[in-house]
Chain A
Amino acid sequence: MKDPILKVNNLHTYFNTEDGEVRAVRGVSFEVHEGETLAIVGESGSGKSVTSLSIMRLLDENGRIAEGEILYKGRDISKIPEDDMRHIRGKEIAMIFQEPMTALNPVFTVGDQIIEMIMLHMGMDAKAARQRAIELLRKVGIPEPEKRVDQYPHELSGGMRQRAMIAMALSCNPKVLIADEPTTALDVTIQAQILELMKELQKEYGMAIIFITHDLGVVAEMSDKAAVMYAGKVVEYGDIVSIFKRPKNPYTWGLMQSIPKLNEEVERLMSIPGTVPNPRKFPKGCGFSNRCFLAKEKCKDEMPELIEVEPGHYSRCFYIDELVKEVEKSRVGEK
């Protein structure tokens, strides 16, 4: 098999704050290949955005990558000089954000901003860049791109702005696109369209996508692989089919049960009780132990290792066997 285009190895990212060090990410590993989509799933505060910002090296001033490597095409980019990193951003690895409302600069036209990127990375002249910007806008499904290119962000709807943002990110043919909850702020139909668009563009350009979301339902549609994150760690990692068919971690299982299913009545919808622990005082043992229905004494004191339960499928839990039984029981019940 080919080498992965991006490989994150044991990433630790800490923040210095007034009340001490916040270990927001404590050992995250995954890899993506060209043309592949990896989903990073987890509840709010689990460290998904911090992971992606670490890859981009765009952490706030008080944050630092304390440990681990980020290999882009085999080269560790976690420690290269800022100047080199800038050439990677946008051109090699691009990122889009959750809020299409604010991710575009309100004082410039959409076209200006896309043209800026194209001229910056591709060295085209203004005229050619404008032509390419219009082409890109058309490609991301914006009607009348010749007109839209001269409009300001506030003149576009949320969905269109996100499309414009995607056009901007794609303007330099990045090899990796990190999308941090790109559809969360949009309503459901628009969300589906944007996801569809991203899939199409991926097919055309062959880039790798890291898709960050807290919605496991979207993951199933979009991705080839998933990394489930909880309290700064990856708790389950593997290809999408194995994870959905044979979940091996109580947290993933909890998330799966909270996906609304069309043919089910609302009252059966489960959600995981409790909340994500505060990263300032993560429990000593398994991060999920205060909410896990399988938790035992051991879970509170010891941290389970990430183990390979079947080829390419990893989970971090002491009681995988018990979970498997639970899953089977519930699936039988459903049928």
Chain B
Amino acid sequence: MNEEYKRALRKFYKNPSAMFGLILLIFFILIASFAPLLAPPQIPIDPEIENMESMINQLSETKDTSLIDDLTSSFSDYYDFTYGFYLDYADDVKKLEKALKNYQANKNEENLKKLIDELTPLTEDYVLDTSYLENIQNNLNDTKKFNSALKDLENGVKAFLSKATNAEKMKKELDEINSKNSSVDEFLPAAKKYFKDLKSNYIKDLHYDPYLMPIVTYENTPQPPSKEHPFGISNGRDIYYGVVWGTRTGFKIGLIVVITATIIGLFIGSISAYFGGWVDEVLMRITDIFMSIPFMLSAMVLTTVLGTGLDKVMIAMIVFGWMGSARLIRGNILQAKNDQYVLAAKALGVKDSKIIVKHILPNTIFPVLIQASMRIGSMVITAAVLSFLGVGAPQGYADWGSILNYARNWILGGTGGAFEYWYTIVYPGTAMVLFVLAWNLVGDALRDIFDPKLRG
């Protein structure tokens, strides 16, 4: 096997187009993995936090003890403002949780009244949203809605309590800092740790999505490449950022869609081939029906039904993308079943299950995997087309198709001359073409190496 491995590699090295594809692919993988470094997401940071950060840095440089007081006071202020609230009401909410549990264990009038009694003051103090109370009171007669209101409340309480737990932890750390404010050496590590937790809590609560391309200008016309925005600006967003993070989107779409669709296809196709008869008939007719529906149309209809968004697009692409693999594996298995080595293996007493796993699958699955690897690239194009048609990724999502979509109005250039806005197309377009090319070349090379029928 090792020998064979080496031989495969050697074959790969000797094939220039395969090498080129592989290098391209590695290049894309690197870009995708180092996206946060290549195009750092610009998280909007609270000035308060920035201030604290600079104080900490100053402290570690100058060891100026007067800064300790400043820092502890800003920590305390920030604490009161962000966390204190949760701790203040933690006990009340815990009582509410108990009442809720009691009611869920024993659903009677009395327990419900207790629950509402607990909930009312909390909503009045704006600790919990009034909608929790309203939804419960207004739906007393509608069991389904009532239950979902209870569920919402349960989640709300849980979220609150988890924040409270976190606040408690932060309080402990703060107390520790306050007890160490006599020396810089003791204070500094504790303060650094506290600040780190604080900042990560802040970012977490922000629900910041790095896949959103930052808006850098409110100017509508595209802006040509400049030092800060090397690929220019389209629709007010930085193209460079979109192209870099779009690499991740490309891999996400390609891999998830193709892997899922291929697994579904393999499953349906091999069941069809293995059982034959009416099972085969039914499954293949279903496959035919799916194949006869124009893909773009069906994907668009499905995304409109499910709602737009990248995940919906991927679902649509999976639902209408498994048939190729199903057909291919079915045909291959049917053919392999009649191949003489299967009969020969049977004639020498090999078990059926082993024949399937050892003799039929290896001979049938490679073409499917190779086809799948080639499709990964083209999936990105399909997703781009959907984005271009406006049913794909949401506004501002880092996705090559979306960036191209922004260019729609500028393709012909402005009054200044044709192709004035070339950068709105060339950068995302090149990325896409190279991505597709990379997968195709690698798929081709895989076929040359692994397809037993082309061996030798």
Interface residue ranges, A against B (CB under 8 Å): 56, 58, 86-91, 94-97, 99, 102-109, 116-117, 120-121, 150, 152, 154-155, 165, 168-169, 172
- Closest CB-CB distance, B455 to chain A, in whole Å? 5
Given A90, A106, A117, which contacts B453 in the complex, CB threshold below 8 Å? A106
Are A105 and B343 in contact, with the CB atoms below 8 A? no
Are B349 and A89 in contact, with the CB atoms below 8 A? yes
Known: A106-B453, A154-B455. A86 touches B351 (CB 8 A): yes
CA A96 to CA B363, docked complex, whole Å: 21
CA A96 to CA B362, docked complex, whole Å: 22
CA A90 to CA B346, docked complex, whole Å: 8
Sorted nearest first, the 7 A-B pairs with minimum C-beta distance are A90-B349, A90-B348, A89-B349, A106-B452, A95-B347, A154-B456, A102-B340
Are A89 and B347 in contact, with the CB atoms below 8 A? yes
Q: How large is the interface on B (under 10, 10 to 19, 20 to 34, 35 or more residues)?
A: 20 to 34
Are A103 and B341 in contact, with the CB atoms below 8 A? yes
Known: A106-B455, A154-B455. A91 touches B344 (CB 8 A): no
Known: A103-B340, A103-B341. A120 touches B349 (CB 8 A): yes
Given A86, A105, A169, which contacts B359 in the complex, CB threshold below 8 Å? A105
Are A94 and B453 in contact, with the CB atoms below 8 A? no
Are A104 and B349 in contact, with the CB atoms below 8 A? no
Q: What are 21 A-B contacts defined by CB distance under 8 Å?
A: A88-B349, A90-B350, A91-B349, A97-B340, A97-B344, A102-B340, A103-B341, A103-B343, A104-B341, A105-B362, A106-B341, A106-B455, A107-B362, A109-B4, A116-B358, A120-B350, A121-B349, A154-B456, A165-B344, A168-B344, A168-B348
Interfacial residues of chain B within 360-393, with CB under 8 A of chain A in the complex: 362-363, 366
CA A91 to CA B349, docked complex, whole Å: 8
Interfacial residues of chain B within 267-295, with CB under 8 A of chain A in the complex: none
Contacts of B348 in A (CB 8 A): 89-90, 94-95, 117, 168-169, 172
Contacts of B339 in A (CB 8 A): 102
- Closest CB-CB distance, A175 to chain B, in whole Å? 13
- Closest CB-CB distance, A185 to chain B, in whole Å? 11
Contacts of B45 in A (CB 8 A): none
Name which residue of chain B comes closest to A89, CB basis. B349
Q: Does B3 contact A (CB under 8 A)?
A: yes
Q: Does B345 contact A (CB under 8 A)?
A: yes
Interface string of B417-456 (1 = CB under 8 A from A): 0000000000000000000000000000000000011011
Contacts of B350 in A (CB 8 A): 90, 116-117, 120
Name which residue of chain A comes closest to B347, CB basis. A95
- Closest CB-CB distance, B274 to chain A, in whole Å? 13
Contacts of B344 in A (CB 8 A): 95-97, 103-104, 165, 168
Contacts of A152 in B (CB 8 A): 455-456
A-B contacts counted at CB < 8 A amount to: 78
Q: Which among A103, A104, A121, A169 has the greatest number of chain B C-beta atoms within 10 A?
A: A103
Interface string of B393-420 (1 = CB under 8 A from A): 0000000000000000000000000000
Contacts of B351 in A (CB 8 A): 86
CA A121 to CA B362, docked complex, whole Å: 23
- Closest CB-CB distance, A208 to chain B, in whole Å? 16
Are A102 and B341 in contact, with the CB atoms below 8 A? yes
- Closest CB-CB distance, A178 to chain B, in whole Å? 8
Q: Which among B344, B345, B346, B359 has the greatest number of chain A C-beta atoms within 10 A?
A: B344
CA A96 to CA B343, docked complex, whole Å: 10
CA A90 to CA B169, docked complex, whole Å: 71
Interface residue ranges, B against A (CB under 8 Å): 3-4, 339-341, 343-351, 358-359, 362-363, 366, 452-453, 455-456
Are A99 and B340 in contact, with the CB atoms below 8 A? yes
Name which residue of chain A comes closest to B365, CB basis. A107
Are B347 and A107 in contact, with the CB atoms below 8 A? no
Given B3, B4, B347, B363, which contacts A106 in the complex, CB threshold below 8 Å? B363
CA A152 to CA B363, docked complex, whole Å: 14
Are A105 and B456 in contact, with the CB atoms below 8 A? no
Known: A86-B351, A89-B346, A90-B348. 15 other contacts (CB 8 A): A86-B349, A90-B347, A96-B347, A97-B343, A97-B347, A103-B344, A104-B341, A104-B344, A105-B359, A107-B363, A107-B366, A116-B358, A117-B348, A120-B349, A152-B455
Given A56, A121, A154, A172, which contacts B347 in the complex, CB threshold below 8 Å? A56
CA A150 to CA B3, docked complex, whole Å: 8
Are A105 and B345 in contact, with the CB atoms below 8 A? yes
Contacts of A155 in B (CB 8 A): 456
Contacts of A86 in B (CB 8 A): 349, 351
Name which residue of chain A comes closest to B351, CB basis. A86
Name which residue of chain B comes closest to A94, CB basis. B348
Name which residue of chain A comes closest to B2, CB basis. A150
Contacts of A58 in B (CB 8 A): 343, 346-347
Contacts of A172 in B (CB 8 A): 348
Name which residue of chain A comes closest to B362, CB basis. A107
- Closest CB-CB distance, A331 to chain B, in whole Å? 41
CA A91 to CA B366, docked complex, whole Å: 32
Known: A97-B344, A165-B344. A107 touches B452 (CB 8 A): yes
Contacts of B359 in A (CB 8 A): 105
- Closest CB-CB distance, B366 to chain A, in whole Å? 8
Contacts of B363 in A (CB 8 A): 105-107
- Closest CB-CB distance, B448 to chain A, in whole Å? 14
CA A41 to CA B205, docked complex, whole Å: 85
Contacts of A97 in B (CB 8 A): 340, 343-344, 347
- Closest CB-CB distance, A202 to chain B, in whole Å? 18
Are A87 and B455 in contact, with the CB atoms below 8 A? no
CA A117 to CA B351, docked complex, whole Å: 11
Name which residue of chain A comes closest to B348, CB basis. A90
Contacts of A99 in B (CB 8 A): 340
- Closest CB-CB distance, B13 to chain A, in whole Å? 20
CA A91 to CA B347, docked complex, whole Å: 10
- Closest CB-CB distance, B444 to chain A, in whole Å? 19
- Closest CB-CB distance, A116 to chain B, in whole Å? 7
Contacts of A104 in B (CB 8 A): 341, 344
Are A105 and B349 in contact, with the CB atoms below 8 A? no
- Closest CB-CB distance, A268 to chain B, in whole Å? 37
Contacts of B453 in A (CB 8 A): 106
Contacts of A150 in B (CB 8 A): 3-4
CA A152 to CA B453, docked complex, whole Å: 12
Name which residue of chain B comes closest to A150, CB basis. B3
- Closest CB-CB distance, A88 to chain B, in whole Å? 7
CA A188 to CA B172, docked complex, whole Å: 92
CA A97 to CA B358, docked complex, whole Å: 20
Name which residue of chain A comes closest to B361, CB basis. A107
Contacts of B349 in A (CB 8 A): 86-91, 117, 120-121
Contacts of A105 in B (CB 8 A): 341, 345, 358-359, 362-363
- Closest CB-CB distance, B445 to chain A, in whole Å? 18
Contacts of B456 in A (CB 8 A): 152, 154-155
